[in-house]
Amino acid sequence: MVVASATLGYTDIIRARRIPEIDLSQDRDRVKDLVVKACEEFGFFKVIKHGVPEELITRMESAGSEFFALPAREKMKAGPPTPLGYGSKTIGFNGDVGELEYLLLHANPAFVSNKAVLISKKDPSKFSYVVNEYVDAVRQLSCEILAMVGEGLGLRDSGALSRAIRDSESDCLVRLNHYPQMVEEEEEEEEDDNISSRRRVGFGEHSDPQILSILHSNDVDGLQIRSPADGGVDGAATWVPVPPDPDAFFVHVGDLLQAMTNGRLVSVRHRAMANSSYKSRLSIVFFGAPPLHSLISPLPEMITPALPRRYKSFTWAEYKKTMYSLRLSHNRLDLFRADDGDDERR
């Protein structure tokens, strides 16, 4: 089944509180068109029947839950986040904070194995095996989606987008986020008529800087995407809540994919609200990124008279350096817009 909501506009999405949902097991020609349309209109969609084994997802969630259940002094041994490692509350180096703790790892198997001795004293080899197996499966899913994007865009080389993520030197990451239950806040706001508007932010507004992100979470809500189509009432952001679905993955277009497609695909801005549910929220995100030395440029087919070149060429290392120098909410791609007639490093 390919759900028709993938064809809705933002106004419809906001009114119906529906998110584009795509069944990856259906006819590829139809699916690739829906994937491209969702990336153009939303920069975000949900995939079902994705092929990642349920037991693998369960093992990964269990590994994350076991780590976050450790005493704080034990978890701190896997930190501080520089930027990799364990972190709590503080996000990045520029004053951003959130109501969460997290574990950020490079997706390289050797890195995971080395870090595992600080993460799982009980059985580090089991932890690294589970994480590396999960990364392999979700990396494959990412590459399959990017291949369909390439086909749907009519690229001469449909593998151009996924090749960087498959590279042995790729800079892919996996992040486990734990949003603890906040019972006391729920009790304080119990009589408020607009509880959702007063919920605290768990992870602030941002776009993912990489090519593509694949998120899985448990059955607790919190994720919201921002509509770029209208500024909301009086210019305020319109936030669309994303209903949780532990059987699905949620796909985010990243900044690099927006740049590579010359702005045709949209990097979605999103945030996570602090949890006031009956249990904590656990999310696992795979960030597909190229090697640090990779040169990012709009693909030739994406530059047309109707859509002139919008972004300069830059390396992923340059973009990461800029990212780490800015607050979460900053629109980083604005700093890489091309001047008229710019052909730098093309």
pLDDT in tens, the chain (346 residues): 434 334 444 445 444 457 899 999 999 999 999 999 999 999 999 999 999 999 999 999 999 999 999 999 999 999 999 999 999 999 999 999 999 999 999 999 999 999 999 999 889 999 999 999 999 999 999 999 999 999 999 999 999 999 999 999 999 999 999 999 876 544 444 433 343 445 689 999 999 999 999 999 999 999 999 985 544 445 566 899 999 999 999 999 999 999 999 999 999 999 999 876 678 999 999 999 999 999 999 999 999 999 999 999 999 999 999 999 999 999 999 999 997 555 544 4
Domain ranges within the chain, ordered by starting residue? 57-336
The stretches of the chain forming alpha helices (DSSP H) are 10-16, 28-41, 54-68, 72-75, 109-119, 124-153, 160-166, 183-188, 195-198, 255-260, 316-324
What 3-state class would DSSP assign to 77?
helix
Q: Which amino acid is at 323?
A: M
Taking alpha carbons only, the member of 259, 331, 268, 332 closest to residue 302 is: 259
Q: Which amino acid is at 200?
A: R
User: The whole model's pTM is what?
Assistant: 0.89
Q: Hunting for tokens 């640090």 — which residue is that?
A: 292
Count of CB atoms situated within 10 Å of the CB of 202: 22
How far is it, in rounded angstroms, from Cα 43 to Cα 35? 10
How far is it, in rounded angstroms, from Cα 306 to Cα 89? 44
Q: Which CATH architecture has domain 57-336?
A: Sandwich (2.60)
Sign of CA dihedral 146, 167, 246, 269: negative
Structure tokens at 88: 């709590």
Residues 253 and 39 sit within 8 Å (Cβ to Cβ): yes
How far is it, in rounded angstroms, from Cα 20 to Cα 11? 13
Count of CB atoms situated within 10 Å of the CB of 80: 12
Query: Chain centroid to CA 43: how far?
Result: 10
179 bridge partner residues: 281
**∠ CA(53), CA(54), CA(56), 5° rounding?**
70
Residues 44 and 13 sit within 8 Å (Cβ to Cβ): no
As a residue count, the chain comes to: 346
State the helix-helix crossing angle for 54-68 and 124-153, rounded to 10 degrees. Answer: 130
What 3-state class would DSSP assign to 189?
coil
Structure tokens at 151: 């086909």
How far is it, in rounded angstroms, from Cα 78 to Cα 171? 20
